[in-house]
Structure 1
Amino acid sequence: MNRLPVEKRAQILQMLCEGSSMRSISRVADVSLNTVTKLLVDAGIACSAFHDATVRNVNSQRVQCDEIWSFAYPKAKNLPSAKAAPLGSGDVWTWTAIDADTKLILSWLVGDRDTHAATIFINDLKDRLANRVRLTTDGHRPYLTAISNAFGPDGIDYGILQKLYGKESEGAKRYSPPKLIGIDRDLVLGSPDIKHVSTSFVERQNLTMRMSMRRFTRLTNAFSKKVENHYHALSLYFVWYNFIKSHKSLKGLTPAMAAGLVSSPLEMSDIVALIDKREGEPKKRGPYKKRAISAA
Structure 2
Amino acid sequence: MNRLPLHKKVQIITLLVEGNSLRSCSRIADVSINTVTKLLVDVGIACQKFHDEKVVGITSQKIQCDEIWSFVYSKEKNVPDGMEDQAGDVWTWTALDADTKLMVAWNVGSRDAETANEFMYDVASRLNNRVQLTTDGHKPYLQAVSDAFGTQIDFAQLIKLYGGSEGTTSTERKYSPAECTGCKKTIVTGEPDAKYISTSYVERSNLTMRMGMRRFTRLTNAFSKKIENHCHAIALHFVYYNFVRIHKTLRVPPAMAAKLIKRLMTIEDIARLIPDEAPKKRGNYKKKEG
TM-score range, shorter chain: over 0.9
Whether 1:263 aligns to 2:262 is yes
| Matched letter for residue 263 of structure 2 | S
Alpha-carbon distance in structure 1 between the residues aligned to 2:105 and 2:284 = 48
Taking only the aligned residue pairs, the percentage that are identical comes to: 56
Q: 1:152 aligns with which of 144, 150, 153?
A: 150
C-alpha change, 1:285 and 1:206, in structure 2 (3 Å) is same
| Matched letter for residue 185 of structure 1 | K
Superposed CA offset, 1:236-266 (max 9, x none): 001000001001111x211110001100121
Alpha-carbon distance in structure 2 between the residues aligned to 1:265 and 1:66 = 28
Alpha-carbon distance in structure 1 between the residues aligned to 2:82 and 2:10 = 34
Superposed CA offset, 1:146-169 (max 9, x none): 00111113x000111010001112
Shift of 1:284: 6.4
Aligned twin of 1:294: none
Whether 1:119 aligns to 2:117 is yes
Shift of 1:84: 7.2
Q: Select between 61-70 and 84-93 the one with higher mean Cα deviation.
A: 84-93
| 1:166-177 to 2 correspondences below 5 Å | 166-172=163-169, 173=172, 174-177=174-177
C-alpha change, 1:92 and 1:287, in structure 2 (3 Å) is closer
C-alpha change, 1:287 and 1:160, in structure 2 (3 Å) is closer
| Matched letter for residue 27 of structure 2 | R
SS in 2 for 1:248: coil
Q: May I ask how many residue pairs the two structures share in their alignment? A: 282
Alpha-carbon distance in structure 1 between the residues aligned to 2:115 and 2:123 = 12
Q: Give the conservation status (yes or no) of the 8 Å contact 1:69–1:94.
A: yes
C-alpha change, 1:83 and 1:14, in structure 2 (3 Å) is farther
Whether 1:43 aligns to 2:52 is no
Aligned twin of 2:220: 220
Superposed CA offset, 1:60-80 (max 9, x none): 00000000000000101111x
SS in 1 for 2:249: helix
Q: 1:283 aligns with which of 240, 254, 279?
A: 279
Superposed CA offset, 1:171-208 (max 9, x none): 42223221111111111100000010000000000110
| Matched letter for residue 46 of structure 1 | A
C-alpha change, 1:267 and 1:145, in structure 2 (3 Å) is same
Alpha-carbon distance in structure 2 between the residues aligned to 1:116 and 1:85 = 20
C-alpha change, 1:9 and 1:119, in structure 2 (3 Å) is same
C-alpha change, 1:15 and 1:148, in structure 2 (3 Å) is same
Shift of 1:86: 7.9
SS in 2 for 1:211: helix
Aligned twin of 2:288: none
Superposed CA offset, 1:65-109 (max 9, x none): 000000000101111xx3774842100000000000000000000
Alpha-carbon distance in structure 2 between the residues aligned to 1:77 and 1:287 = 47
C-alpha change, 1:48 and 1:84, in structure 2 (3 Å) is same
Structure 1 regions of 5+ residues with no counterpart?
Answer: 290-296
Aligned twin of 2:201: 201
Structure 2 regions of 5+ residues with no counterpart?
Answer: 286-290
Q: Give the conservation status (yes or no) of the 8 Å contact 1:86–1:226.
A: no
Shift of 1:288: 11
Alpha-carbon distance in structure 2 between the residues aligned to 1:27 and 1:83 = 34
Q: Give the conservation status (yes or no) of the 8 Å contact 1:73–1:85.
A: no
Aligned twin of 2:127: 129
Alpha-carbon distance in structure 2 between the residues aligned to 1:244 and 1:14 = 11
C-alpha change, 1:84 and 1:150, in structure 2 (3 Å) is closer
| 1:2-41 to 2 correspondences below 5 Å | 2-41=2-41
| Matched letter for residue 78 of structure 1 | N
Shift of 1:170: 3.4
Aligned twin of 1:91: 89
Alpha-carbon distance in structure 2 between the residues aligned to 1:268 and 1:59 = 26
